[in-house]
Amino acid sequence: MTDRKAELSANLDKVRAQIAQLADAASRPAPQLLPVTKFHPAEDVALLAELGITDVAENREQEARAKHAALGTVRFHMIGQIQTKKANHVARWAASVHSLDSLKLAAALDRGMGNALAAGERAGLPDTLPVFIQISADGDEHRGGTQLSDPEGIGKLVAAVEESEHLELAGFMVVPPLDADAGEVFRAVRALTNEWSATLGRELKLSAGMSADLKDAISAGTDIVRVGTGIMGPRPIV
């Protein structure tokens, strides 16, 4: 085993143990771990695949697209903001999108999925694209997200996804503002997720929690945690 592979293996073991411990302490099921591989080379993702990782998350479309082309056996999930003009590209490689935040983007992703399917460019990926509606707890437009305080807006976005041809509502995603009570934000979006699960009659998932706020996210009942530095180490110097 190479030094880098051994490092990644040790980091994975450490993070998994931390998640299991926090879940046990909170009497919650352990959430799915989604490693975040942004800024790290495709070679690192290949090593993760050798260690049994099948799914990773990326923030930037062009970087994720290149890695997807190089590594056909790994599923890439988009967790960063998406420019509408990039939706057509995202639809060709994304196993899911965790950052749906507007009606315009929903329409663009649906259209992009139709184009990708017609061109036969989603080999090994589902014919419907699972999407998580990104929720904003502070109204910062630069961070993206539909306002938690705007249930009507959230409802319209849910309806748009439900009525689309190629999208499937998988749940909700949130990143708490730096100055917010993370636990409070997570609990609010967990409640939102549960409410919409009851309304739609199927289980939706909460994608919430990163290295710095795992405890609060797991305590609130997140289904997916997104961990980058804890697994990959510091970002490479470019």
Q: Which of 80, 156, 164, 72 is nearest to 114 (CA)?
A: 164
Q: Is the pLDDT of residue 139 over 70?
A: no
pLDDT tens digits for 1-56? Answer: 799 999 999 999 999 999 999 999 999 999 999 999 999 999 999 999 999 999 99
pTM of the model: 0.96
Give me the chain's average pLDDT, please. Answer: 95
**Higher model confidence: residue 5 or residue 137?**
5
Would you call 127 exposed, middle or buried from its count of C-beta atoms within 10 A (0-12, 13-18, 19+)? exposed
Interhelix angle 182-200/151-163, rounded to 10 degrees, is 50
Give Cβ neighbours of residue 99 (< 8 Å, ≥ 6 apart): 78, 79, 80, 81, 82, 132, 134, 144, 173
CATH architecture of 3-205+221-232: Alpha-Beta Barrel (3.20)
Q: What are phi and psi of 193, to 5 degrees?
A: -60, -45
User: What's the chain's Rg over C-alpha atoms?
Assistant: 17
Q: Encoding tokens for residue 136?
A: 């904003």
Q: Are 76 and 61 in contact (CB under 8 A)?
A: no
Using the CB atoms, write b or e for 183-217: b if 16+ within 10 Å: eebbbbbbebbeebeeeeeeebbbbbbbeebbbbb
pLDDT tens digits for 147-195? Answer: 999 999 999 999 999 999 999 999 999 999 988 899 999 999 999 999 9
Q: Which of 157, 160, 169 is nearest to 132 (CA)?
A: 169
Q: Where are the domains of the chain?
A: 3-205+221-232
Separation of alpha carbons 200 and 153, rounded Å? 17
- By DSSP bridging, strand 94-100 and strand 75-78 are parallel
